[in-house]
Amino acid sequence: MPHARRSQRCAAWAALVVVVTTGAILAPASSNAEPPGRAIFERAWPEALDGRWPLSADEERTLQTYPLAADLRAAWYSARLDQTKPEALEQFMAAHDGLPPIRRLRYRYAIHLATTKQWAAYRRLYAQHYAAAGVAALDCLELKAQLAGQGSQRDRATIALAEKLWRVPSSQHRYCDASFDVLLDDGTLGARARRDRLELAIDARNFSLAAYVADLIGPGPQGAVARWRRMQRDPAGVLGAGAKNYSAEQIDYGLRRLALRDPLLAGQLWQQLKPNAGLEDESSAALERHIALATAQDYHLEARDLLANLPDSVADTRALEWRARAAMRVGDWSDVVRTVARMSAEDQASERWRYWEAVALIKTGQVDAGRGLLEPLAQERSYHGFLAADRLGQSYSLQPQTLAVSADALATISARFEVQRAVELDAVDQRARAQSEWQRAVRSMAVADYPAAAAFAHERGWHAAAIRQLAELEAWDDLDRRYPLPHAAEITAGAQGAGIETSWAMAIARSESLFDPDARSGAGAIGLMQLLPGTAKRVAKRTSRRWRGQQSLREPAENIALGTHYLGELAQDFDHPALATAAYNAGPERIPGWLPSEDPMPADLWVETIAYDETRAYVQRVLAAEVIYRHRLGLATVRLSERLPPVAPESNPRVATRL
């Protein structure tokens, strides 16, 4: 029985599908036909992964013209490396060299040769394919292979490779461990190599590795690493006690760590320690910049003086931006004007600081000058452009223009072998591999093919790839493809059930994942709306939905249902779209600390002074995208100023408790 997902796609995209092999292009498939070989591949794939080859001669002939035929045979070989004749395997890899499944198979074959101690064969393979590749695991095995062929004498090549692998600031691949033990025991990795790695580890603040290396050297380095680790664990205690016997570098490190938790205390301790700390002037200035920025991001009033007193050498873009924000928070608009004037020409020309300079000029009575900055900015289709239009009472400048792509250009893209591999991998639900294959295909294209590639990706439903391609082309006006409407029915239903705007939910999904159902963040958030499993599990429990672990988040419909409900909860808790959007990105527990302490604050000012750069940019991106999605959905325009009432002080908001 065909997959439902595949069947739904088939009718929509069949016109674009052209089945190809490395040497031949087949005719386009009929409107509802699958390419020859797909059903065979899907049935045989699980068995090939287990090392079984169940195909008849007729099926093998059919599979010869299928773009994923090599993948199937590579999977079969990979599962039975210990039963395969090297000549047959190497002939197969040579015949299909360059394909991703061959790269994966060759890597596994290399590991197999090494783990079975076929060192001569391993070294030939390594020399041919991996000697300059920088693959740590295989480099470590090459070192082991060289040592296996030597007695107690080490040749220059072995020593050079050993030192290259040893001198890294992080733990090396485990395949190096046994070789390192041998080379440490016989003195090849001697005192100098050990000191070098200790310094690298300390510079990288990798104190676990530093402790291991220090134990190889002796008491002096062990004591130094112990001091680093004490400073890491308890900077306030060590610095408050005077930091005796601590180096200038260690004091600098401790103060920087402390500033992230308690910048005022860090500043006080620095003033006490500064006369005898031993830091050079340049290092002192950089430390003071770090403390001043941390103080500003914690909204302490002291930040203004700290930032104003920084020497010019460290008053960079970031320091000046936070000086301007600190002045904005207290309403010192004259200082905002002065601070923006100190920024580089590039920073002054940015939309952000054109907008805030205009606001500051108007606030200080220079209305014509301020409006003069707002007029051109109001023509931009962006967050600050929309805010500028609001201040001038002008209509938003949307002006969409879809990038024209001919049918012939699309056909040319679809006829490429790499593209057909991507299409088929997607069709058989190997989506991660499909994305990788598509990226490989695009890298091989001429720039002139990029518009058609973006259009092809959009038509296939590969929206993340299309959006990124259009950004590279700077095709900003193609709103249909840059702001697509996938899963519109599910998002609309989820938004309505949660009592929120569909346009907002769409903007969140686009900003979170670019509508990639397989997206996964470094923090572990999964799927279209990038939910953490713990959060999603709690939402599922509150909504009586079946929870199937991460599988629930990989299914777009379920991910959307959970994400829109969670967004609705945040909307109720914070009663403000900017706060709720920030909470979705940074976590609801962060928001109370970012709120004004006394009087209500204009929402645009609150957004601009969000402490996290990532969250600030995210909120601005979502709010701008919502305006565009209202247009895409055919809804009436709602001005940002209407959507963003003043932000209430910390004592008043309905703070989320469902953490």
Residue 11 reports pLDDT greater than 60: no
Quick one: DSSP state of residue 24? -
- Using one digit for the tens of pLDDT, what is the confidence trace for 421-472? 999 999 999 999 999 999 999 999 999 999 999 999 999 999 999 999 999 9
Q: 477-480 long-range contacts, Cβ below 8 Å, gap at least 24?
A: 477/399, 477/400, 477/401, 477/403, 478/400, 478/401, 478/402, 478/403, 478/454, 479/398, 479/400, 479/402, 479/628, 479/631, 479/632, 480/400, 480/402, 480/632
pLDDT attached to residue 31 = 37
- Using one digit for the tens of pLDDT, what is the confidence trace for 256-299? 999 999 999 999 999 999 999 999 999 999 999 999 999 999 99
pLDDT attached to residue 153 = 86
Region of residue 527 (left: phi > 0; alpha: psi -120 to 50; beta: else): left
The angle subtended at Cα 377 by Cα 373 and Cα 380, nearest 5°, is 175
Report the distance separating Cα 250 and Cα 228, nearest Å: 7
Please give the CATH topology (third level) of the domain spanning 488-643.
Lysozyme (1.10.530)
Residue 630 reports pLDDT greater than 70: yes
pLDDT attached to residue 651 = 52
Query: Is 516 in contact with 556 (CB distance < 8 Å)?
Result: no
- Using one digit for the tens of pLDDT, what is the confidence trace for 381-393? 999 999 999 999 9
